[in-house]
Amino acid sequence: MTTANIHIPIRERLIFALDVPDLDQAQNLITRLGDSVEFYKLGLEVFLSGHYFELMKQLKGDGKKVFADLKLFDIPATVAAAVRQLSRHDVDFCTVHGNDSMLKAAADAKGDMQVLAVTALTSLDQGDLDDLGFECDTATLVLSRARRALSLGCDGVVSSGLEVAALREYADSKLITVCPGIRPVHNDDDQQRVMTPYQAIRNGADYLVVGRPIRTAAEPAQAAEAIQKDIARALEDT
């Protein structure tokens, strides 16, 4: 069985995707989740609310960790400048989505922040990759991008839990693996390559990104705690 990084606190392994359109909804969810979530992902939707850095400051002040999931993609100098700006806000993770020169620019500018390279979005299936012109299967693409990202100085990758076991065979625990597309039950939304929390951790995932299953639950804190229990059980069984 592949192995995740054993030094990560168990309750920090769940990253909640705070994908909401305004400040009121974000703060309401943060309050309702309380101690059930220790790590938050702030993506493009909340970025465009105009309250991104306000929320970031609030979360850091509450002792939470923050993942700035902006998938930076631009000329290397601009990517480097954006990464330096994010690092000033005590961000824990940020994402970069691009070629080798972009990834290297981000890695060189990251400071104490950890940079994650996006491999293949979990909303894409093999047919989508074929349409985009990739002449390989998903697993091959993810592994190739992960190898390049690590060699260029990135700290980890974002990938589906379906590919994480192969990544562990290549890089073991030195590569941070963050897995979106995590669904506790049968999935019928726009995510194509999905996996349960238990399976993803057993495959070697370090962190699990979960949004809708928590956000749309009648009791979000209970939903988050159920996933926390799955994570702990998977680690015990590994």
pLDDT computed for residue 160 by the predictor = 81
Which residue in 41, 71, 110, 229 is the catalytic one?
A: 71
SS3 content of the chain, % helix, strand, coil (to 5): 45, 15, 35
Residue given tokens 């060189």 in the structure block: 108
Q: Taking the domain 11-237, which CATH number applies?
A: 3.20.20.70
Alpha-carbon distances, residue 56 vs 20, 91, 104, 115, 177 (angstroms):
14, 8, 25, 17, 22
Q: Is 104 an annotated catalytic residue?
A: no
Specify the pLDDT at position 126.
Answer: 53
pLDDT at residue 1, as a whole number: 46
pLDDT for residue 169? 80
Q: Which residues contact 210 (CB under 8 A, 6 or more apart)?
A: 14, 15, 16, 17, 182, 197, 224, 227
Chunked in runs of 10, what are the mean pLDDT values of the chain (238 residues)? 72 97 96 98 96 96 97 96 96 93 97 90 50 58 83 91 81 84 64 76 94 95 96 90
CA gyration radius, the chain: 17
pLDDT at position 45 is 95
Residue 166: the pLDDT is 81
Give pLDDT, residue 133: 53
